[in-house]
Amino acid sequence: MTKRRVVITGIGAVTPLGLDAETTWKNIVAGKSGIGPLTRINADDFPAKVAAQINDFNPEEFMEKKEARKMDRFTQYAVAASIMAVKDSGLAIVDENAHRVGVWIGSGIGGMETFEQQFEVFQNRGYRRVSPFFVPMMIPDMAAGQVSIMLGAKGFNSCTVTACATGTNSIGDAFKVIQRGDADAMVTGGTEAPITKMAVAGFCANTALSTNPDPATASRPFDKNRDGFVMGEGAGIVVLEELEHAKARGAKIYAEVVGYAATGDAYHITAPAPGGEGGVRAMRMAIEDGGLNPEDIDYINAHGTSTDYNDKFETNAIKEVFGEHAYKLAVSSTKSMTGHLLGAAGGVEAIFTALAIRDSVLPPTINYETPDPECDLDYVVNQSRQGEIKAAISNSLGFGGHNATLAFKKYE
């Protein structure tokens, strides 16, 4: 069976660095940080003092106030990013094609804020005062559900929940839907709004979050003095389209998605497998799925969380997959600027990888000061640089031992 070719024709994002994809990307290329003091909840209650918050988002620019009130923040972000992505793609979703346009949007946690607020209502005032919208606001698939309703997209509709691999798995799964012929276009990515009391408490309790109180330097992937990730929020959504379908309507093409793989560590609930063994297999399989060789890859958007094990084992995995070529390709962690958007990370990082290919720019890993002898690759430290990218991969690794890799090519 001939695999149908799949391209990215639209992008949309809501991030700590901008309320749209191009503004976010401009700030990424400039090496600007979106991390600031933790203010959404009382930072005095937690050892973590900083976060990558979105402070000026207004959902009413994208939906009626009445509709916005029925959505948790994670769904609002997804709806906004999806509306922007579809507008950017120029794809008209009408009665004739609605059944061939699908939605696959994941969230690692879903409506945690709603859960906390409504539990408080239940404790203080009983079940009768709990919102009838509590369940549909909280469940992680509601981002995909609401986007489908808002856009009128009636095709393949799903939601992936694989912790921090969610966004990458979602795009990969949507890519396969188009590739095998079950849809002509998919609105896909990840969304997350985890800056809540319980989510921050949970990540502090398992010592995953940075306790560095300085927002400017708290997220420092691959640096010897890294001490944990910085919580972020937002959504990254792309429109994927079958190539001939996109060409027939004269769509602009950012990049081609050529490969995808997902693997399981079968090792530990939170720690990555030694040497990044699961990541090794995911990268190898995605590269092979894309009809590429390891030496074809010019750039890797790393998972790069700024935690001790992740950065070390991901570096090991890259060296295992690429051998000598590992030292010739560029690697960067844009989480140094966005923080870690959990289930949305793979969505925004897929956008960054596509834009890096479009603009021939290698985005930086900022806050890199002290080399770690165990992390010895070219991490594009502190400043972006020019460099043609013909092929690239983006990695995401999640609690539960989930590994996902997407492979992209410059569209020829």
Are 240 and 342 part of one and the same domain?
Answer: no
Contacts of residue 231, defined as CB under 8 A and 6 or more positions apart, other chains included, come to 48, 51, 52, 194, 195, 199, 200, 203, 209, 339, 340, 342
Nearest to 144 by CA among 186, 93, 206, 204: 186
Boundary residue ending a domain (248, 271, 287): 248
- Tell whether 256 is covered by a domain: no
Nearest to 152 by CA among 99, 188, 107: 99
404 SS3 class: strand
Are 178 and 272 part of one and the same domain?
Answer: no
Q: Report the predicted TM-score, pTM, of the whole model to 2 decimal places.
A: 0.98
**Beta-strand relationship, 101-106 and 36-37:** unpaired
- Tell whether 253 is covered by a domain: no
- Tell whether 133 is covered by a domain: yes
The whole-angstrom separation of Cα 85 and Cα 21 is: 9
The whole-angstrom separation of Cα 386 and Cα 289 is: 28
- Tell whether 2 is covered by a domain: no
Domain total for the chain? Answer: 2
- Residue pair 84/138 in contact by the 8 Å Cβ criterion: no
Are 66 and 205 part of one and the same domain?
Answer: yes
91-92-93-95 Cα dihedral, nearest 10 degrees? -140
The catalytic residues are 164
The whole-angstrom separation of Cα 402 and Cα 140 is: 18
- Tell whether 233 is covered by a domain: yes
- Tell whether 257 is covered by a domain: no
270-275-279-285 Cα dihedral, nearest 10 degrees? -150
Are 34 and 110 part of one and the same domain?
Answer: yes
Boundary residue ending a domain (248, 281, 313): 248
Are 178 and 284 part of one and the same domain?
Answer: no
Are 232 and 277 part of one and the same domain?
Answer: no
Are 54 and 76 part of one and the same domain?
Answer: yes
**Beta-strand relationship, 330-332 and 299-301:** parallel
Contacts of residue 246, defined as CB under 8 A and 6 or more positions apart, other chains included, come to 7, 9, 253
The whole-angstrom separation of Cα 205 and Cα 199 is: 10
The whole domain housing 289 covers 262-405
- Residue position matching structure tokens 């640089």: 385
Boundary residue ending a domain (199, 226, 248): 248
Are 31 and 174 part of one and the same domain?
Answer: yes
CATH of the domain at 343: 3.40.47.10
**Each residue's pLDDT tens digit in the chain (412 positions)?**
789 999 999 999 999 999 999 999 999 999 999 999 999 999 999 999 999 999 999 999 999 999 999 999 999 999 999 999 999 999 999 999 999 999 999 999 999 999 999 999 999 999 999 999 999 999 999 999 999 999 999 999 999 999 999 999 999 999 999 999 999 999 999 999 999 999 999 999 999 999 999 999 999 999 999 999 999 999 999 999 999 999 999 999 999 999 999 999 999 999 999 999 999 999 999 999 999 999 999 999 999 999 999 999 999 999 999 999 999 999 999 999 999 999 999 999 999 999 999 999 999 999 999 999 999 999 999 999 999 999 999 999 999 999 999 999 999 8
Are 243 and 280 part of one and the same domain?
Answer: no
